[in-house]
Structure 1
Amino acid sequence: MRARSPASRRSALAVSAAAARRSRSTKVTSRAPRDSASKPSAPLPANRSRQRAPGTSARSQLNRVSRTRPRVGRRSGRSGKTSFRPLQLPPIMRTSLLAIAPVYPAAAPDGSGPYRSADSRPAVIEKLSDNDTEQRKGGFWQRLKSGLSKTRGQLAEGVGNLLLGEKEIDESVMEELETALLLTDVGTDTTREIMAELAQRVKRRELNDTRALHGALAGLLKDALAPLVRPFEIDPAARPFVVFFVGVNGVGKTTTIGKLAQRLKGEGRSVMLAAGDTFRAAAVEQLQQWGERAGVPVVAQKQGSDSASVVYDAVQAAKSRGVDVLMADTAGRLQAKSNLMEELKKVRRVVSRLDERAPHEVLLVLDAGVGQNALSQVREFDAAVGLTGLVITKLDGTAKAGVLFAIARQIAKPVYFIGVGEGVEDLKPFDPDAFVDALLATD
């Protein structure tokens, strides 16, 4: 092979160097950003933009975009200030909140301290109406008859033949009547006595048809309730006349106290309430609201305080003011809990230090729906604190109103009041004649 001359070798090297330079220039040009006009990109969302401020990274640009959005559900730690708009309630909710009445403590004997005079409180509580039960159609008789409708319905299932006019009295009628009396919790002893007396009258031809049997049944039931009749009387020489209210949980002690306070206040008596139930949540506030409605002072301490201390302070305050009646609420307790019954005994002992005759009345509030269990409650509470009377509540919600006959037969404690509704006027003195007439009403 013929060797190249030096000049030709230099020319070849120059060509190779020029080619290498062109190759490097082509590679650098390929790394440059492509012209956006050459190939359009996909459209971006309206709230996003590819344009960035000089020196702004992609992450900070996204944060900047997020700050333009509504500040709802923002997580803590992000930059930017968060603004909050005040809560706007619907008009009906604003009206309901404004209708809530404040609760004030009762007044001290000297007009200062933790007790506040009822006369100095605003009358906002008047907005909380009790449905004005006195204006109901038919008055208390209609409410009593309506309240006993469940018991009357249970009784009518067995004595329906007695209510349909003059029919012959046969064995099936007597059996149905006996079953109905037992189902309404009249009690086995009372039922046996009533059925035996009716059977004797039928045998003597004194009762010829079901109409006569119906009248005889009403008379015997009224006679059976006679041991329960005694008026609730307040001794004017005892000032204050102290009344304790005891019972198990949920029978309506606090509500009964509030209703009776309004009744006594309407009779022109001065009344004070003692919030001795310091265990149940909101019990003090509930009694204070009843005090507002009745316009009477309430002696109360914070929840968890010693109940005996509260009642003791209330008796002292009532004495210094010359109050006619002091009614003391107590915490609900099961009659089988001996330690809780001992607490009740303590309250009685403490009050007797101020007045050896106090409390002048100890009323057991009974839920009529418990039926025959009411007898056990009466016996246990009577053994612990010495009951002087009963209040039967919630007769409108049970078919066991016949328990009053069992109480009259076995306990013979007077029933001062009965409750047949939620209204203030639905608590009335017990009238056995009206009770039986409402129980056996045919219309």
Structure 2
Amino acid sequence: MRILKGLFGKVDQLLTGRRPVDDELFDELEECLIQADISIRTAAKLVDTVREESRKKRLRESEQIKESLKDILKRILVSGADATLAEPKDKPTVYLFVGVNGVGKTTTIAKLAHRFKSKGYRVLLSAADTFRAAAIDQLEIWADRVGVELVKHRPGADPGAVVFDSIQAAIARGIDAVIVDTAGRLHTKSNLMEELSKIARICRKALGRDPDETILVVDATTGHNAVNQAREFAAAVPLTGVALAKLDGTAKGGIVVTIRDELGLPIKLVGTGEKLDDLDDFDAEEFVNALFET
């Protein structure tokens, strides 16, 4: 995740050197964290925790505060087994991808299909975004480019039927992974969110279990709006994690901390470029260290 280097530049500058630890420092630190796209609530919580640790450990210099902050960020971002994307295990393993239009969802799906195929898995893409004809065509282009199978219906068809047929086809063909593309639903449209819930129920009917992963794709450059989207989607379907697309020099990075802290959702995948190989597993320690690099 070298592309993230220095995204907490102002925080790093504030805490570099031998500046005394006082209330003014903590106030400026909270302001810098908010400017780095961390929510007001999470920023206040971070500063309160750093302040408490500095009191207990008798930290006297800003460099010590920086190391304390890095440790706290890593504790927030690191979790158990849920932090990594499930590998294809039970045939077929189903990955449901959700998110609004324009966040990079279809590209993320193609990158994941490429990753799985490179590991020797058989992959099928499910074109359940029937709302736009162009979405079906786009997914078909990616399927051909990556060299994986595709199940599609006509534009305007029932997305649930596409998902059901995709799972049945995967069972019949011995497919390892089914990756489902859904319409770019606006998180303010309750009827579309209900349709998404229906797709999840159809997965349960066809598989006898929930989708193995339900991943929300958000655009890292949209800041707090992405957090609001995550809240809305989590209310419609049981999300298992987040894929951050476009986490490059235009993003400030704080959204990662806010999503994990306020919503309890692990960041599982990170898109760092336009190429098919530009999809990384999220590494909390590497991420935090990169934020403070200069």
With the length of structure 1 as denominator, give the TM-score of the two structures: 0.62
CA contact (8 A) 2:103 2:219 kept: yes
Partner SS for 2:280: strand
Whose RCO is larger (CA < 8 A, sep 6+)?
Answer: 2
For residue 3 of structure 2, what is the amino acid of its counterpart?
R
Does residue 1:308 correspond to 2:168, yes or no? no
Show the 5 A alignment for 1:34-113: none
**Going by fraction, where is strand more abundant, 1 or 2?**
2
For residue 2 of structure 2, what is the amino acid of its counterpart?
Q
State the Cα deviation string for residues 218-267 of structure 1 (Å, max 9, x = none).
1111112124861212352x211111111111111111100001111111
Match of 2:120 in 1: 268
Does residue 1:356 correspond to 2:208, yes or no? yes
Identity %: 42
CA contact (8 A) 2:131 2:156 kept: yes
CA contact (8 A) 1:369 1:397 kept: no
CA contact (8 A) 2:97 2:179 kept: yes
CA distance, structure 1, for counterparts of residue 272 and residue 135 of structure 2: 22
Does residue 1:142 correspond to 2:142, yes or no? no
Match of 1:380 in 2: 232
Pairwise CA distance, 1:387: 1.4
For residue 41 of structure 2, what is the amino acid of its counterpart?
D
Match of 2:29 in 1: 177
Show the 5 A alignment for 1:33-432: 141-145=1-5, 152=7, 155-163=8-16, 165-204=17-56, 206-227=58-79, 230-234=83-87, 236=89, 238-396=90-248, 398-432=250-284
CA distance, structure 1, for counterparts of residue 56 and residue 96 of structure 2: 49
**Structure 2: tracts of 5 or more residues without a match:** none
CA contact (8 A) 2:88 2:177 kept: no
Change beyond 3 A, Cα 1:280–1:198: same
For residue 283 of structure 1, what is the amino acid of its counterpart?
A
Pairwise CA distance, 1:350: 2.8
CA distance, structure 2, for counterparts of residue 399 and residue 355 of structure 1: 38
**Structure 1: tracts of 5 or more residues without a match:** 1-140
Change beyond 3 A, Cα 1:306–1:177: same
Pairwise CA distance, 1:377: 2.1
CA distance, structure 2, for counterparts of residue 301 and residue 227 of structure 1: 39
The structure having more radius of gyration, on CA atoms, is 1
CA contact (8 A) 2:34 2:43 kept: yes
Partner SS for 1:395: coil
Partner SS for 2:227: helix
CA contact (8 A) 2:37 2:223 kept: yes
Task: Give the paired residue count.
Answer: 293
CA contact (8 A) 1:245 1:364 kept: yes
Change beyond 3 A, Cα 1:265–1:168: same
Partner SS for 1:354: helix
CA distance, structure 2, for counterparts of residue 313 and residue 243 of structure 1: 15
Residue of structure 2 aligned with 1:438, choices 272, 276, 290:
290
Change beyond 3 A, Cα 1:330–1:216: same
For residue 13 of structure 2, what is the amino acid of its counterpart?
G
State the Cα deviation string for residues 71-110 of structure 1 (Å, max 9, x = none).
xxxxxxxxxxxxxxxxxxxxxxxxxxxxxxxxxxxxxxxx
Pairwise CA distance, 1:156: 2.2
CA distance, structure 2, for counterparts of residue 354 and residue 161 of structure 1: 54
Partner SS for 2:260: helix
Pairwise CA distance, 1:438: 0.9
Partner SS for 2:140: helix
- Taking only aligned residues, the RMSD between alpha carbons, in angstroms, comes to 2.2
Match of 1:75 in 2: none
